[in-house]
Structure 1
Amino acid sequence: MDLGISGKVALVTGGSAGIGLAAAKSLAREGCNVCVSAREPEKLADAVVELQEFGTVVHAVLADVEDPSAARRVVEETRDVLGPVDILVANAGGPPPGRFDEVGLAEWDVAVQRNLLGTVRLAHAVLPEMRSRGWGRIITITSRSAREALDGLVLSNATRSAVAGVVRSLAREVGRDGVLVNNVLPGPIDTERLRRVAGDDEVLRRRAEEVPVGRIGRAEEVGDVVAFLAGERASFVNGVSLLVDGGESRVIA
């Protein structure tokens, strides 16, 4: 399926590993020129090597979206090297687990900066040019916790839900300008973060049994959903929070 985005410029934050890298690969496979940003230089360099295999132009920016100045800097550098951003994939590592009485205000500050305000700043930075050109895609990566509160993940439940609210509001405000805004909610996906939280293979095996399709998801399965939402084939999809969780959520959409 030709998604109609060959030659578009995509910016993927948190793009050096996991779901972010998978999204960048799916977009590069569709012919997008891709800028990836992340916090760890070694992983970022490795990601560039992998993305270059698709034959499009690849650029990398070392940045942490928790830094208030990072969003504009990343967007400006992407523009300088590749051109104005057509597709923004706002992705950041999830906040640490914990119940309400186990996390302090400092941890709340970090989670809000990284997982909410980082996305807001990125959207602010790309929107003016998207609206002036009459075309753009903003895709946020959050979590199933944006739809259904998960035990022991109060920081994720709160910040991911807030991002979903921003997506719904922004989609209504900029849709007439040709800019579509959507949110992807992964469930259990085989990434470093999931394995770190799970702790061992037995926990992962039990986790897989909880999913109706009987397995943990693959990062590329989320990446391909991101690419579809970025494409022309999804031109009437706006303001949604799309679960990619193998049917695990019990909440009616």
Structure 2
Amino acid sequence: MSYKVAIVTGAAAGIGAACSRRLAKEGVAVAVLDLDAERCADTVKVIKDAGGTAIAVGADVSNRASVKAALEQVREQLGPVSILVNNAGVTDFTPFEELTDERWDFIYAVNVRGIFILTQECLPDMKAAGWGRIVNISSSSAQTGAINMIPYSSSKGAVVTMTRSMAQEFGPWGITVNNIPPGSVMGTIMSEANRERFQIPTEVLLQTIPVRRMGEPDDIANACAWLCDERSGYVTGQTIGVNGGRVVT
């Protein structure tokens, strides 16, 4: 098959759905993956209606057997995987002293182990092709920290350091690995949960963003598509902040 195949996790809605649509627009065949394949139907329909190629895939990214089964489906229906967007994640707002071991382990299972499993299982396809693109979606809270979000922000910090190490280890096979930490993106489950919980007025939030607007899922998707392209082949191990300037490095 001449086209490239991508897996986008957490792709039923929000940033994952936007990344799926954008990659499909670039001619990539996309496996739209979420915990429940039925939740991916709308994203797949939009892609197909626009003339793209996509399938819905269900998997628990923290469970290797589930991921292996999903990859069998992807390879059978689309072909070997050359692009992986690790977007799936869960958040938490529990005060540190109230956290349980179980809650901590759950956050890390999805946000960190999920990336480990997906990447490890897709790596043979990329190595065989001598080409691959991995984009990890972290969070600006990994850069700034966040009150009552210690397991979430620290797990996303792990994603940043995993990206740097993966880039160095996988580079000789033509595989790049980069990280996007979004900030203040409208229309995502996590951003809406943040706004509702902390009751931050939009006008106050906008004062913390130099470009004076909230982000959109497509802002992240545009950066993701570039990082998955031939044009970014000399970019690896990088954190590409797409946050309107909220975090300046």
TM range (shorter): over 0.9
**Deviation sequence 1:44-84 (CA, Å, 0-9, x none):** 11111112123122111112213332222222211111000
1:1-253 mapped onto 2 (5 Å cutoff)? 7-190=3-186, 191-199=188-196, 203-250=201-248, 252=249
CA RMSD of the aligned region, Å? 1.7
Task: State whether residues 38 and 56 of structure 2, in contact with CA within 8 Å, keep that contact through their aligned partners in structure 1.
Answer: no
Instruction: Give the Cα separation in 2 of the matches to 1:138 and 1:152.
Output: 30
Separation of aligned partners in 2, 1:164 and 1:122:
16
TM-score (norm 2): 0.93
Tell me the amino acid that sits aligned with residue 215 of structure 2: G
Which letter does structure 1 place at the counterpart of 2:229? G
Please list the CA deviations of residues 143-171 of structure 1 after superposition, one character each: whole Å capped at 9, or x if unmatched: 01222212221112211111111111110
**Paired residue secondary structure (2:167):** helix
Q: Structure 1 residue 202: deviation in Å?
A: 6.0
What SS does the aligned partner of 1:152 have? coil
What displacement does 1:240 show? 0.6
Q: Aligned to 2:134, what secondary structure does the other structure show? A: strand
**What secondary structure sits across from 2:246 in the alignment?**
coil
TM-score normalised per structure 1: 0.92
Would the aligned equivalents of 2:8 and 2:87 in 1 still touch at CA under 8 Å? yes
Which consecutive unaligned segments of at least 5 residues does structure 2 have?
A: none
Change in CA separation of 1:196 and 1:146 when aligned onto 2, cut-off 3 Å? closer
The question of whether the paired residues in 2 share the 8 Å contact of 1:195 and 1:204 is answered with no
- Could you tell me which amino acid in structure 2 is paired with residue 206 of structure 1? V
The 3-state SS of whatever aligns with 1:36 is strand
Structure 1 residues 94, 206: CA separation in 2 closer, same or farther (over 3 Å shift)? farther
Aligned residues: 246
SS in 2 for 1:241: coil
Deviations 1:95-146 (A, max 9, x none): 2123321321111110111000000000100111211210001111110122
Aligned identity (percent) is 35
Query: Partner amino acid for 1:246?
Result: G
The answer as to whether partners of 1:14 and 1:92 remain within 8 angstroms in 2 is yes
What letter is aligned with 1:228?
A: W
Rounded Cα–Cα distance in structure 2 between residues aligned with 1:162 and 1:194? 20
The runs of 5 or more residues in structure 1 that have no matched partner are 1-5
8 A contact 1:134–1:178 mirrored in 2: yes
